[in-house]
């Protein structure tokens, strides 16, 4: 099979047994360094992607991704407004929404919560799969019903069917003994467990009951909640529909949870940078090995030039030789990295490492991210070959062969 002469010679140099053991060691070290760096980078990034995805599902699945506030809309207005977005595949649900800061009081304890009002059964569909006791649908069949986390129920010493007093300090009424916060006895009809911070702060009831506690009209819907298929598309949605949202006061999930996800994103970038430096150090070993190889092969390069190879062809020979190490380390490292990350829980269990509570590390592969890591490693390897290859191309045959 025909091969360009520069490719043929470059591969022969790469695969041939090296006469200089030190050059062989540096070449091996560069391949091993790239391999280990990619294994570490792919594993860490995949696990952090998994944690981020788990956080996104466990924390952002139970709050509105976008909230539009306008005190003058009715349920019918919300339905008409939602029709404008029904063809957008990025938007999962548009529903009426009402919330209130409240206190849950029993004889055992008082707990502050955010009380969220539910108007439609399809709201918070992710939560309905997390039920531990009772039924979500009972929120709509039982008067003054409430659903809370199993964590809150245990803290308040409540079971399904028990009553809890809900107090809303923001609304109050005058009585003979003075101003009294709005309050009402609610019946616990369901408990859930998300395994996240949501369990400590949220409770759910019907929207009309929240409106009555706030002493506002049950016919009015103070907010419209958007649930997106991907909560990270928030900027895209806000930019595309800024005209539609101009009549509302707009807030999104970043107001309450943005700091946490920004911290996770920053940690991912820092870890990628640090592990990328490991790969970069290994790539620089390609430079060292090639420079020493150029010095050792000066007479052979001079002979090749006298046989008709141009400086450009000589440069390509050493680029091929350097890329051989870079591509080999990248292919091995990327393959082992994906295999290691995909089986990390089994590997940790095999060596006797277990997390508290038997929690498994979540792993999520993003094809675009893996492609970027792979191509960046090869690109760095290519750049590392340019200087040694240019140095080889600058060799003058007459000076090298003068005393041969």
Reduced 3-state DSSP string for the chain:
CCCCHHHHHHHHHHHCCCCCHHHHHHHHHHHHHHHHHHHHHHHHHHHHHHHHHHHHHHHHCCCCCEEEEEEEEEHHHHHHHHHHHCCCCCEEEEEEEEEEEEEEECCCCEEEEEEEEECCCCCCHHHHCCEEEECHHHHCCCCCEEEEEHHHHHHCCCCCCCEEEEEEEEEEEEECCEEEEEEEEEEEEEEECCCCHHHHCEEEEEHHHHHHHCCCCCCEEEEEEEEECCHHHHHHHHHHCCCCCCCCEEEECHHHHHHHHHHHHHHHHHHHHHHHHHHHHHHHHHHHHHHHHHHHCHHHHHHHHHCCCCHHHHHHHHHHHHHHHHHHHHHHHHHHHHHHHHCHHHHHHHCCCCCHHHCCCCCCCCHHHHHHHHHHHHHHHHHHHHHHHHHHHCCCHHHHCCCC
Residues 78 and 224 in one domain: yes
297 shares its domain with 355: yes
| Domain contains 374 | yes
Q: What is the pLDDT of residues 352-390, one digit of tens each?
A: 776 655 567 888 888 998 999 899 888 888 888 888 878
Predicted pLDDT of residue 336: 92
Domain boundary residue, one of 203, 232, 252: 252
Of 252, 271, 286, which one is at a domain's C-terminal end?
A: 252
Please indicate, yes or no, whether residues 282 and 392 belong to a single structural domain of this protein.
Answer: yes
Q: What confidence tens digit (pLDDT) does each residue in 128-158 have?
A: 778 888 888 888 888 889 999 888 988 888 8
Indicate whether 185 and 51 sit together in one domain: no
In a domain, 257, yes or no: no
Query: Of 207, 230, 252, which closes a domain?
Result: 252
pLDDT at residue 298 greater than cutoff 50? yes
Residue 26 lies in a domain: yes
Count: domains in the chain: 2
Range of the domain at 376: 5-57+262-400
Query: In this structure, is residue 280 part of a structural domain?
Result: yes
pLDDT at 17 over 50: no
**pLDDT band of 338, cuts 50, 70, 90:** very high
What band does 331 get if pLDDT is binned at 50, 70 and 90? very high
Residue 229 belongs to a domain: yes
Residues 290 and 313 in one domain: yes
């Amino acid at each position: 099979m025909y091969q360009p002469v520069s490719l043929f010679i470059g591969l022969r140099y790469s695969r041939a047994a090296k006469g200089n053991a030190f050059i062989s060691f540096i070449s091996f070290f560069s391949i091993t360094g790239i391999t280990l760096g990619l294994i570490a980078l792919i594993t860490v990034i995949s696990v952090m992607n998994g944690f981020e995805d788990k956080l996104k599902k466990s924390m952002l699945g139970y709050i509105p991704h976008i909230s539009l506030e306008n005190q003058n809309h009715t349920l019918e207005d919300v339905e008409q407004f939602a029709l404008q977005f029904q063809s957008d595949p990025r938007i999962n649900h548009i529903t009426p929404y009402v919330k209130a800061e409240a206190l849950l009081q029993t004889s055992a304890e008082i707990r502050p919560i955010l009380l969220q009002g539910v108007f439609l059964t399809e709201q918070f569909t992710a939560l309905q799969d997390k039920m531990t006791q009772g039924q979500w649908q009972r929120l709509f069949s039982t008067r003054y019903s409430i659903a809370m986390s199993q964590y809150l129920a245990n803290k308040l010493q409540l079971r399904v069917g028990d009553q809890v007093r809900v107090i809303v300090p923001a609304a109050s009424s005058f009585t003979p003994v003075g101003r009294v916060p709005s309050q009402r006895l609610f019946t616990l009809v369901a408990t859930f467990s998300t395994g996240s911070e949501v369990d400590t702060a949220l409770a759910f009831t019907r929207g009309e009951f929240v409106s009555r506690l706030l002493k506002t009209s049950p016919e009015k819907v103070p907010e419209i909640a958007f649930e997106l298929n991907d909560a990270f598309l928030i900027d895209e949605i806000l930019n595309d529909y800024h005209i539609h949202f101009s009549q509302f006061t707009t807030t999104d999930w970043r107001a309450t949870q943005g700091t946490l996800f920004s911290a996770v994103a920053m940690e991912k970038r820092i870890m990628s940078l640090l592990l990328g430096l490991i790969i970069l150090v290994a790539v620089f070993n390609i430079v060292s090995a090639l420079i020493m190889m150029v010095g050792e092969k000066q007479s052979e390069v001079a002979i090749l030039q006298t046989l008709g190879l141009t400086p450009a062809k000589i440069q390509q020979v050493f680029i091929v030789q350097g890329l051989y190490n870079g591509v080999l380390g990248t292919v091995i490292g990327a393959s082992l990295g994906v295999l290691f990350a995909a089986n990390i829980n089994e590997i940790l269990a095999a060596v006797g490492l277990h997390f508290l509570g038997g929690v498994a590390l979540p792993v999520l592969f993003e094809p675009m991210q893996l492609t970027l890591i792979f191509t960046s490693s090869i690109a760095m390897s290519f750049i590392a070959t340019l200087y040694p290859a240019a140095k080889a191309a600058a060799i003058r045959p007459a000076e090298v062969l003068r005393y041969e």
